[in-house]
Amino acid sequence: PENEEKFNQFEKRLIDDDLKAVLISWLNQFMGVSTDKISREVLFSAVRKIKYNLLIQNIKNVKSEDPYTKLQIQDMFTRQRLNSLIVDWKNHPVLSEKLDLVFAQLGADIKEKSIIDIYGSEAEFTFYTTELKYYILAKSIESVDSQPDKVIQGVQELSGDPDEKKEIKLLMSFLDSAANMFSQINNISSYVLDTPQEYIETYIKDFSNIDTFYRKAIMSWESLRNLELPEEIQLDDLVEKIHQTYETYLIELNREWLKCLKQFDFKLNDISVVKQYQFYNQYIENSDQKLAVIISDALRFECAQELLGEVMVDTKGNAKMDTLLTGIPSVTKWGMANLLSNRQLAYADEKITIDGISTEGTVNRK
């Protein structure tokens, strides 16, 4: 609508430059549109035909209830030319960004919802308009907790467009993280393990991934809340389900972990893993280099894993990650004491001293 004057200029050029016959020929070759004139309705019809054929071109059995079947291009060579035209359109430095807008405005009569209702969200689409993506993702929202692996695959098939809208990118990221969280939790056969050592090893290898996917899902959700999404995208129930499922997982894991610790009389020192109070002796004392120690209070294990990945991008150095078991209770004033050199550690009146110096406060620890 905002280009009314440009269209009038276009119509005038058809007469002035005698291009009408060429364009009529192209409409037939590339879109299978037979006409003896160029008009708005002819061009709108061409856009509708292009949009429909791009959407259903890989669907083998076109159904009789499909209201748009009369638009289907049967000729194989015409379909090939149409696909080549779309490739050129997508690669055009200026016009590529108008592709979705043209289909949304001029091809609005070809409704993606009707296509989804007839062929399902799992049909073999190879071309996606923004609206089609939203309808497919809306279907994924309904099954992300019960069929997470299918949702993960579906999101992967939709991904890959470098010029994707911010809203769709965030929505796909949210669904992918949520589906991965549900998949990991659904695949837990039992929370009952034999030893505390096994719980630690399993957490490092498997359970920590659940924390990552939960965190990323909620981070994506927090960003999505501030964006305008189509009416069919309803996320509140899914977000509540994510929270409930994650909290249940934590409760179940913690309950069995504590049962296991009780069986071993809560002897944390007997677990074969480096303890927090051994940090200084293990990593600092025998070093022949100057070291800097950066302490991040309550940094989640899985966040440290992600940080390690970021550090490893720097090819100039090396990085690795170790695991330590914290002291109980894991409060700051005692955790800090555990990290210091502990030649003579003493506890009295709910306070810890090292060589007679209190470990509370930055002045004393310095």
Strand order in the sheet with 351-354: 345-348, 351-354, 357-358
In this predicted structure, what is the pLDDT of residue 259?
A: 97
- CA atoms 185, 189, 191, 193: torsion sign: negative
Tokens of 157: 């098939």
Q: Distance between CA 277 and CA 271 in Å, rounded?
A: 14
Q: Could you tell me if 241 and 291 are in contact, meaning their C-beta atoms sit under 8 angstroms apart?
A: no
Among 7, 70, 13, 14, which residue's Cα sits nearest to residue 40?
A: 7
Helix (H, G, I), strand (E, B) or coil at 346: strand
Per-residue pLDDT of the chain (366 residues; tens, 9 = 90+): 788 888 888 888 887 777 888 889 999 999 889 998 888 889 999 999 999 999 999 898 889 999 999 999 989 999 999 999 999 999 999 999 899 999 999 999 999 999 999 999 888 888 999 999 999 999 999 999 999 999 999 999 998 887 788 999 999 999 999 999 999 999 999 999 999 999 999 999 999 999 999 999 999 999 999 899 999 999 999 999 999 999 999 999 999 999 999 999 999 989 999 998 899 989 999 999 998 888 888 889 999 999 999 888 876 778 889 999 988 888 887 888 888 876 788 888 888 888 889 888 889 888
In this predicted structure, what is the pLDDT of residue 342?
A: 66
Give the predicted TM-score (pTM) of the model: 0.86
Q: Could you tell me if 52 and 72 are in contact, meaning their C-beta atoms sit under 8 angstroms apart?
A: yes
**H helix intervals, the chain:** 4-16, 20-31, 40-56, 76-91, 99-105, 112-119, 130-143, 148-158, 166-186, 196-202, 208-224, 236-263, 279, 301-312, 332-339, 362-365
In this predicted structure, what is the pLDDT of residue 362?
A: 86
Q: Distance between CA 41 and CA 23 in Å, rounded?
A: 15
Q: Distance between CA 283 and CA 344 in Å, rounded?
A: 18
Question: DSSP assignment of 106-145, as one string?
Answer: TTTTS-HHHHHHHH-TTS--S---HHHHHHHHHHHHHHTT
**302 Cβ contact partners less than 8 Å away, ≥ 6 residues apart:** 208, 209, 211, 212, 215
Give 273-333 as a 3 state SS string. CCEHHHHHHHHHCCCCCCCCCCCCCCCCHHHHHHHHHHHHCCCCCCCCCCCCECCCCCCHH
